[in-house]
Amino acid sequence: MIPLTPQQIEAAMASGDAPLTLIDPQTKTAYVLVRKDSYDKLAAAADVEQLVASMGWESARRTLRPPQEWFDGDEPKPF
């Protein structure tokens, strides 16, 4: 872990919850500094998206049919 400089701390405090863009003066590469809790949420969402993309939805749709009793009866259906 690399500690922030006083200038970086001041900029981070001023940005509030918004991401902070940092520029490497030598390479002109831009970096985005976000709070760790925000990063953790983004990483978890990316993991979920990757899992969903890897699932065989078409196969599941064909093989994992809902039970017929879900459709029986006169009560209102949620779908």
pLDDT of residue 70: 81
The Cα–Cα gap between 41 and 45 comes to: 6
Q: Are 19 and 34 in contact (CB under 8 A)?
A: yes
Residues with Cβ within 8 Å of residue 8, at least 6 apart in sequence: 20, 22, 33
SS3 state at 28: coil
pLDDT of residue 27: 97
pLDDT of residue 73 exceeding 90: no
pLDDT of residue 79 exceeding 70: no
Could you tell me which residues are beta bridge partners of residue 32? 21
pLDDT of residue 67 exceeding 80: yes
Write down how long the chain is: 79
pLDDT of residue 76: 80
pLDDT in tens, 10-54: 999 999 889 999 999 999 999 999 999 999 999 999 999 888 888
